[in-house]
């Protein structure tokens, strides 16, 4: 019997490139999967894939920073399926308005940008956008953890899996708020792990490397499928010699969620990066 068969698994960001395959995999292993995300259409595509494979799921559109909405979902799920046993905090994102196009300070930073879309420094970026990135990536993990973590504790245990990033370890250029928030995820994972240990709730995180998705293709690859200059830099630091795919995460996710395999593992962040962090590129 699978470690998750017949148990409730909640996946936030379930319509995304990385978490959709995780949700599908959990359903194939017998979990009753709750799909949470902001866009119903994306969730329904994942639900259709799960249904076609004979799995069980439910679509619950919501903003993960809305604690009232997440609490209502938790109540419905508990009443109909029982308590959450596994929580995958995959919701998050970035905002181009919080990303400078210039990588280092220059004389141009002394003057307001004339063309925000094409040329902006750190001092030109939209601070509301900056705050929104921090909120979705931090509170978007904390709030589901509060709601479903308490449910797990009342039921006698569970496992939480957060999403960190390569930015957790070193801030990549142009993504200051995203990097800040992902560094915070590793810290939050350690805090929540030690806090929830008496309740038999384990809390860990994974840090995906450079994964191929619709957004990353735009800056890692050229239209003909070759490597962009940024893609070449990434590959120069990746001993595995390729970009990652969502399916590369599944084994690590299973290990960290499975109490029989990882019963003494809590509070850690595991890079799944093809060796990116191990390589200085020289």
Q: Which residues form the catalytic set?
A: 178
Which residue from 93, 96, 92, 98 is spatially nearest to 128, judged by alpha carbons? 98
Q: How far apart are CA 102 and CA 81, in angstroms?
A: 50
Pairing mode, strands 84-89 and 269-272? unpaired
For the chain, the C-alpha Rg in angstroms (whole number) is 19
Show the tokens assigned to 66: 């809305």
3-state secondary structure of 95: coil
Collapsed DSSP state (helix, strand, coil) of residue 265: coil
Residue 59 · residue 47 · CB < 8 Å? yes
**Residue 191, token pair as written in the block:** 């805090």
Q: Chain centroid to CA 248: how far? A: 14
Contact (Cβ atoms closer than 8 angstroms) between residue 15 and residue 42: yes
Rounded to 5 degrees, what are φ and ψ at 246?
A: -55, -35
DSSP state of 172: P
Instruction: Supply 110's token pair.
Output: 């002394």
Distance CA 280, CA 282 (A): 6
The pair of three-digit structure tokens given for residue 63, joined into one six-digit string: 């903003």
């Amino acid at each position: 019997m699978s470690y998750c068969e017949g148990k409730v698994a909640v996946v936030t960001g379930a319509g995304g490139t990385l978490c959709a395959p995780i949700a599908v995999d959990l359903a194939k292993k017998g979990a009753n999967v709750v799909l949470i995300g902001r866009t119903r259409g994306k969730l329904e595509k994942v639900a259709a894939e799960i249904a076609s494979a004979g799995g069980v799921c439910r679509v619950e559109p919501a903003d993960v920073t809305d604690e009232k909405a997440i609490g209502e979902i938790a109540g419905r799920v508990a009443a109909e399926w029982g308590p959450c046993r596994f929580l995958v905090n995959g919701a998050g994102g970035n905002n181009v308005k919080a990303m400078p196009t210039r990588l280092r300070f220059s004389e141009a930073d002394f003057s307001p940008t004339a063309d925000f879309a094409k040329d902006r420094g750190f001092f030109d970026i939209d601070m509301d956008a900056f705050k929104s990135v921090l909120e979705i990536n931090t509170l978007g993990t904390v709030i589901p953890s509060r709601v479903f973590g308490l449910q797990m504790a009342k039921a006698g245990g569970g496992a939480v899996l957060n999403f960190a990033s390569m930015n957790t370890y070193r801030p990549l250029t142009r993504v200051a708020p995203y990097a800040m928030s992902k560094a915070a995820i590793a810290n939050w994972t350690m805090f929540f792990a030690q806090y929830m240990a008496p309740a038999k709730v384990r809390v860990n995180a994974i840090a995906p490397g450079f994964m191929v998705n619709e957004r990353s293709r735009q800056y890692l690859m050229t239209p003909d499928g070759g490597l962009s200059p940024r893609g070449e830099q990434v590959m120069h630091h990746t001993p595995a010699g390729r970009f990652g795919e969502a399916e590369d995460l599944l084994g690590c996710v299973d290990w960290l969620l499975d109490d029989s395999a990882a019963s003494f593992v809590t509070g850690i962040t595991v890079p799944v990066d093809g060796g990116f962090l191990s390589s200085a590129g020289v």
